[in-house]
Amino acid sequence: MDFAKMIKKILNTKLLLIYTATALIFPMYQETPAQRNKTRTKKTVAAAVPKPVAPTIGYTISMSKPWTHLLEVEMRFNYGRTKSLVSLPNESGEYIELKMPVWTPGSYLIREYARHVESFSAKDASGTDLTWRKTNKNTWQIDTKGAKEIVARYNVYANELTVRTSELNDEHAFISPAALLLFPKDQLNAPSTVKVVPFGNWKVATGLPKVENQTNTFRAENYDVLYDSPFEVSDFKEISFDVQSKPHRFVVTGEGNYDLPKIARDTAKIIEAAYKIFGDLPYDDYLFILNTRGGGGLEHLNSTALQFNRFNFTTRYKDFLNLVAHEFFHLWNVKRIKPDALGPFDYENENYTRLLWFAEGGTAYYESVLLRRADLITADEFTTARETQMLALQNRPGRFETSLEDASFDAWIKYYRPDDNAINNQISYYDKGELVNFLLDVEIRKASNGAKSLDDVMRHLYTEFAKKNKNYSPEDLQKACELMAGKSLNDFFEKYVRGTVEIDYNAILSGIGLRFSTGETENKSAYLGANLRQDGDKLIVASLPKETPAYEQGLNSGDQIVAVDGNRASQTFLSSYLSEKRPADRIKLTVFRFDALREIEVTLGGRAKQDFQITAIENPSEDNRRLYREFLGAELK
């Protein structure tokens, strides 16, 4: 049954009260995330009936000595009215269990946040100590001794500035809630409040709504929302602006060569471009948290955490705008348009999905789409970005080993932990994903003669899944694409999404009047094929793509190349030396392998110069020209 219909039916019967009561008596033990999703929807609908009983959970986060990097947490957990939901019998009576997430959504790696917890204590409301024990890596079990309220206190060492960890120092606190706040077992639907006690005169910014008449106190309707709302606490600079009558705010911690009014103006253009795709901005307000150290971004429901190097805001400004566009677009693609396994979340285990190539790769593709539509990049810059991706993919032997779906599924063990063999057995669901989403867009435009595009797929997923609080599956995605293309795309998905077939770029690009050329010539130059890294004055073999002379003739990653034919080796020397050689010439490499010196003779290979280019086909038709114009807002040249 359609879920909305089911809710209506429930509302129209007197069964509602019985249902509500049942939901209160029976806890959410052993619920799957999917079941939890349904429960959560029902709860929202049931808001008009007697108040849902949930434990009162209040956190206070303090930072009295920022230089120690210790965030101090007090968690008050009053479960009096829901005691039956949370206590379990054990030998000594009753206990509750508090748990720390092992990962945070958006960054698909088990990070074991519990390892930074220290000085844990538990008391009842009158201050009497309660005994506790750890029962696994991330669970604290507390004997309640009949207490209705438990006060747990602990510190978390926070000295790592990334978008998915926390950092506290004399400059600021960036708080990733999943890395700081314990949750009571089986209570992920419970609402909570967070009071932040800043150091000195620091200010507090978060996407969570404020609790009225309480200083720096915020509320979260459930743990998915709480863990999705980072905090920045500092003497930050800020700028506010409205787009479509909704307030947006940038808060920036750290010095840098940024121009905040310009950032706000350009960000507003990006937001407008995204708004035009979906027709609404599904939040009350939106917060951009920017730190000018570290790197990267993490998407959230109505906020994002961005980190960008302080002195790159002029030379790499477009990269910064790409980052802004990426994280902002995620508020639809992944935060609301949710792949099967991504929300409600299981915070204690991996959440497997085959859809990251669309959730991440599609979002990466829309960076360029939004920037182009906002006129922040040119059509040529748009295609140059595709050329760069093609060059990178075509130089990865791993493209024959791992499909986009498999790379998505294995993100948990591979993407965040690349090793020296990654080039041979992996692809990035971001990079190839971006490329394949681009090709999918072209394919849909071509098949529908310009009537539809990937925008329509996004809109379809938004209205048919996100707004109906349903997650989508790989099959749903393919169907949505086929609906827009008006034909089967099974061949495309089989080859490029589920398979590892070499991409036939020209077969797809020709539809919009473009062709892809490798620029390869008959003249081959000598090459070794090892990827090298200059580490101070040491020249190190970083990785070895399969089937290259270096790979086949015995170089190892980690080898330090000391000399080439008796000459001191450096990256610049080696490339100029090789440019004088011919294919099949032999060279002698002197290398340190571990701590022993050895000599390796290598017969050089021959390789044509790669110069990947996207250019116009000869004699494009009027249809080609029109499709190109509609796509990139420029004339085909």
Which residues would be at the binding site for Zn ion (CB under 5 A)? 360, 363
Smallest distance from Zn ion to CB 390, Å: 21
Q: How many CB atoms lie within 10 A of CB 41?
A: 17
Residues 612, 214: Cα–Cα separation, whole Å = 59
Smallest distance from Zn ion to CB 65, Å: 35
Closer to Zn ion by CB, 72 or 299: give it. 299
**633 backbone dihedrals φ, ψ, rounded to 5°:** 60, 35
Smallest distance from Zn ion to CB 167, Å: 21
Answer for the pair 599, 589: CB distance below 8 angstroms, yes or no.
yes
What tokens does 474 get? 């790989």
Closer to Zn ion by CB, 72 or 224: give it. 224
Closer to Zn ion by CB, 342 or 393: give it. 342
Output the CA–CA distances (angstroms, integers) from residue 577 to 58, 523, 597, 628, in the order listed. Answer: 67, 18, 22, 44
What tokens does 100 get? 């720390």
Measured distance between the N- and C-terminal CA atoms of the chain, rounded to whole angstroms = 52
Q: How many CB atoms lie within 10 A of CB 598?
A: 12
Closer to Zn ion by CB, 163 or 555: give it. 163
Alpha carbon 295 to chain centroid, angstroms: 13
Closer to Zn ion by CB, 186 or 224: give it. 224
Q: What is the DSSP letter of 39?
A: H
Q: How many CB atoms lie within 10 A of CB 375?
A: 10
Closer to Zn ion by CB, 347 or 430: give it. 430
Smallest distance from Zn ion to CB 364, Å: 7
Residues 139, 183: Cα–Cα separation, whole Å = 10
Closer to Zn ion by CB, 291 or 363: give it. 363
What tokens does 4 get? 């909305």
Q: What is the DSSP letter of 488?
A: -
* Long-range contacts of 263-266, Cβ-Cβ distance < 8 Å, separation of 24 or more: 263/239, 263/320, 263/324, 264/239, 265/241, 266/321, 266/324, 266/374, 266/376
Sequence-ordered list of residues with C-beta below 8 angstroms from that of 334, at least 6 positions apart, any chain = 106, 299, 342, 359, 360, 363
- Which residue reads 């960000």 in tokens? 267
Q: What is the DSSP letter of 28?
A: -
Answer for the pair 592, 569: CB distance below 8 angstroms, yes or no.
no
Q: What is the DSSP letter of 398?
A: G
Closer to Zn ion by CB, 42 or 432: give it. 432
Smallest distance from Zn ion to CB 360, Å: 5
Smallest distance from Zn ion to CB 332, Å: 12
Sequence-ordered list of residues with C-beta below 8 angstroms from that of 478, at least 6 positions apart, any chain = 489, 490, 493
Closer to Zn ion by CB, 392 or 608: give it. 392
Smallest distance from Zn ion to CB 350, Å: 18
Smallest distance from Zn ion to CB 333, Å: 9
Smallest distance from Zn ion to CB 366, Å: 10
Smallest distance from Zn ion to CB 334, Å: 7
Closer to Zn ion by CB, 343 or 511: give it. 343
